Amino acid sequence: MLHNALRGVKVVDLSRILAGPWCTQNLSDLGAQVIKVEHPERGDDTRGWGPPDLRAADDSASMSAYFMACNRGKQSVAIDFSTETGAARVRELVADADVLVENYKAGGLRKYGLDYASLASVNPRLVYLSITGYGQSGPMAGKPGYDYVFQGMGGLMSYTGQPDGTPGAGPLRTGVAVVDLMTGMYATSAVLAALRQRDQTGRGMPLDICLLDVAVALNANQGANYLVSGEAPKRSGNAHPNCAPYEVFACADGHLILAIGNDGQFARFSGVVGHPEWAADARYATNSARLENMDSLRPLIAGTLAASPRQHWTDAFDLAGVPWGPIHTLDEVFAHPQVKHRGLLQTTTHPVLGELRLVRNPLLAGSPPEALGAAPPLLGEHTHAVLSDTAIL
């Protein structure tokens, strides 16, 4: 099981919001000790990003749901490192740390003596991860940025949304901060690789991970489509740019996702819906032909599926091996038997806030329930316990 894979690894976490905390929560879930350094008065910005908030029964404390999502298993230490004493306390924490994670503007921690060069001089084994908007160098290196900005700047929003000329047309962001989340995942991988390299070299290193780089990489097949064709992808609503039919269709009583990935699946689909001639039609027989002719195929599929209830079709699709999927609300997600079987909803208890419901890290599939990390901390909850082990409490 992976929940103890990083036992003995100490992480000092100076990051806030989502990308950095998502990375350090991964490290915590894998067994690392993560010390989250927060300003004594403000704390992580997302502590105030509610409602919704979870409140103690006596209303003595609260925690935003947003903060809970990415700060499980960490120890919160309240330190104002803009003061000389505070900066010295952080340096003391870092002296024997394996990893430091920060997401301040490029060069922003140098004035406190908390930059890589300053800390590596006393701890050459330190892996120092910097997460920024634009990177450590370049004409925009000092500029701040949030996920939303990079969904637009990196191209994602240019092909996400309804096509021009249709109701609701225009650029659309995703429903969660995917650039932040993917930055946290890339950052996690980078830290693990750097620790592995340190095992071989004995030395740590600086890591430069930025949201702009991740946003551009996140284009994946859409980026490759452009680089090969020279044509920028356009918004296509729920349709897929490389597979067809691969989109949302309405049934008589709701919607489903039809996800046809190859010609064999389309032939089976055509038979199930009573139109085997579609698979024999040169316009639709191959994926490339279907992509070129979806304007004529789409209304045929739409009219057929709309004539019967969703359950009628989904039962038949399952029997024939035709890929489809539902569109669930989150209450339906957590009530789904497969989600329950996978143990994705887990609970932990905070000494003040009581029971918290959290989502298990997918990295820990198969791990016992006790592998779920400790509850996200209140601001400064572990200050005395952590700093009492240092020389400068």
Which residues does the annotation mark as catalytic? 180
Q: How far apart are CA 108 and CA 112, in angstroms?
A: 8
Residue where the block lists tokens 């489903």: 256
Tokens of 43: 């704390």
Q: Annotate 77-105 with b (16+ C-beta within 10 A) or e (fewer).
A: bbbbbeeeebbbbbbbbbeebbbbbbbbe
Q: Annotate 348-358 with b (16+ C-beta within 10 A) or e (fewer).
A: bebeebeebeb
Q: In 3-state terms, what secondary structure has residue 127?
A: strand
Q: How far apart are CA 166 and CA 170, in angstroms?
A: 9
Q: In 3-state terms, what secondary structure has residue 44?
A: coil
What burial class does residue 290 get, using C-beta atoms within 10 Å of its C-beta: 0-12 exposed, 13-18 middle, 19+ buried?
Answer: buried
Give the number of other Cβ atoms within 10 Å of residue 142's Cβ: 14
